[in-house]
């Protein structure tokens, strides 16, 4: 098995402090590729550096919408440079999150659009974070329809009609451990409607450990095997065959070597 964890915050200290062990447990579990996601200036720099240390690790650079109030023009210039760095395979995570009422929506939109401009200019895929902001996020993305080919909605939690919309637009969908939670029956029903060639898998570690290891903290890439098993079951596939499909999707989406 050769799964790829397409969204991991490996530069957060609880993981980076033990990165060699984290990666060796991951490889032993059959998760042998990682995309390390930056969320602010420091973590973007560290994600790029970390990816340059490990063959099968890549980086995505972006400012999480949570930080949108503080993102300056200088940060955007930095992002434009970082997007061109070696091993950087995507822009993000970026998007809109109306869960945080202290982050001004206009700031979130400004920062989101800046990410999309950079992704379009350098032909990079985009990793979208959207929470309680589906319609606004989709409206902005639609403006970039002709300029950005590969878009994934990360930590997916959409309902059936949102999912139909996302699939009609050609976007990919990435699941975290939330799809394994006992209360997530509706999300598992949604998952069954997604074509296998649009699915990806992520830990979003150090957060969101899946069932049945939900109490393990921090979450780490090795544990996406539990999420993979849950989804493989929904698709009536054995784990190996399912993992092969998802690894192929991830390689195609991020243009990995
Ligand atoms: Zn994340």
Residue 186 structure tokens: 């509706």
Q: pLDDT of 10-33, one tens digit each?
A: 999 999 999 999 999 999 999 999
Give 37 Cα–ligand 1 centroid separation in angstroms: 7
Q: Quickly state the pLDDT bin for 77 (edges 50, 70, 90).
A: very high
**pLDDT for residue 150:** 97
Phi, psi (deg, nearest 5) at residue 16? -65, -35
Please give all residues whose CB falls under 5 A of ion ligand 1, grouped by chain where several chains appear: 204
The pLDDT of residue 3 is above 90: yes
Q: pLDDT of 90-139, one tens digit each?
A: 999 999 999 988 899 999 999 999 999 999 999 999 999 999 999 999 99
**pLDDT for residue 225:** 98
Give 93 Cα–ligand 1 centroid separation in angstroms: 7
β-bridge pairing 126-131 and 57-61: unpaired
Give 204 Cα–ligand 1 centroid separation in angstroms: 5
Give 156 Cα–ligand 1 centroid separation in angstroms: 11
Where are the domains positioned within the chain? Answer: 3-254
Give 178 Cα–ligand 1 centroid separation in angstroms: 13
% of the chain exceeding 90 in pLDDT: 98
Whether 89 and 60 have beta carbons less than 8 Å apart is answered as yes
Tell me the chain's radius of gyration from C-alpha atoms. Answer: 17
Whether 19 and 26 have beta carbons less than 8 Å apart is answered as no
Using alpha carbons, select from 173, 107, 102 the residue that is nearest to residue 134. Answer: 173
Global pTM reads 0.97
Q: Does domain 3-254 have CATH number 3.40.50.11270?
A: no
Give 9 Cα–ligand 1 centroid separation in angstroms: 7
Give 64 Cα–ligand 1 centroid separation in angstroms: 8
Give 242 Cα–ligand 1 centroid separation in angstroms: 23
Give 237 Cα–ligand 1 centroid separation in angstroms: 27
Give 17 Cα–ligand 1 centroid separation in angstroms: 18
Give 191 Cα–ligand 1 centroid separation in angstroms: 20
Distance from C-alpha of 232 to C-alpha of 59, rounded to nearest angstrom: 27
Give 67 Cα–ligand 1 centroid separation in angstroms: 13
**pLDDT for residue 100:** 83
Give 186 Cα–ligand 1 centroid separation in angstroms: 22
Average pLDDT, the chain: 97
Q: Quickly state the pLDDT bin for 217 (edges 50, 70, 90).
A: very high
Q: pLDDT of 155-194, one tens digit each?
A: 999 999 999 999 999 999 999 999 999 999 999 999 999 9
**pLDDT for residue 199:** 98
Distance from C-alpha of 173 to C-alpha of 199, rounded to nearest angstrom: 5
Mean pLDDT of 189-215: 98
Residue 252 structure tokens: 């195609």
DSSP string of the chain, one letter each residue: --EEEEEE-TTSHHHHTTHHHHHHHHHHHTEEEEEEE--SHHHHHHHHHHHHHSTTEEEEE---GGGGGG--HHHHHHHHHHTTSTTEEEEEEEEEETT-TTS-HHHHHHHHHHHHHHHHHHT--EEEEEES-HHHHHHHHHTTTTT---EEE-S----HHHHHHHHHTT-EEEE-GGGGSTT-HHHHHHHHTS-GGGEEE---TTS-PPTTSTT-SS--GGGHHHHHHHHHHHTT--HHHHHHHHHHHHHHHHT--
């Amino acid at each position: 098995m050769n799964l790829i964890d397409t969204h991991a915050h490996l530069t957060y200290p609880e993981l980076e402090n033990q990165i060699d062990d984290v990666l060796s447990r991951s490889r032993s579990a059959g998760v042998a590729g990682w995309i390390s996601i930056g969320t602010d200036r420091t973590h973007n720099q560290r994600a790029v550096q970390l990816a340059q240390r490990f063959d099968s690790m890549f980086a995505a650079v972006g400012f999480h919408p949570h930080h949108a109030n503080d993102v300056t023009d200088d940060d955007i210039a930095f992002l434009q440079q970082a997007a061109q760095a070696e091993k950087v395979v995507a822009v993000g995570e970026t998007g809109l999150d109306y869960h945080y009422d202290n982050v001004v929506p206009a700031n979130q939109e400004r920062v989101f659009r800046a990410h999309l401009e950079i992704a379009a200019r350098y032909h990079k895929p985009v990793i979208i974070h959207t929470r309680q902001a589906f319609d606004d996020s989709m409206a902005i993305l639609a403006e970039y329809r002709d300029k950005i080919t590969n878009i994934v909605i990360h930590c997916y939690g959409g309902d059936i009609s949102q999912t139909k919309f996302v699939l009609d637009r050609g976007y990919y969908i990435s699941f975290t451990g939330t799809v394994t939670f006992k209360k997530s029956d509706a999300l598992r029903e949604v998952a069954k409607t997604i074509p296998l060639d649009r699915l990806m898998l992520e830990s979003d570690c150090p957060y969101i450990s899946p069932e049945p290891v939900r109490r393990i903290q921090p979450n780490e890439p090795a544990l996406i095997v539990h999420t993979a098993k849950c989804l493989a079951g929904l698709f009536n596939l054995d784990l190996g065959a399912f993992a092969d499909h998802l690894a192929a999707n991830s390689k195609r989406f991020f243009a990995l070597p």
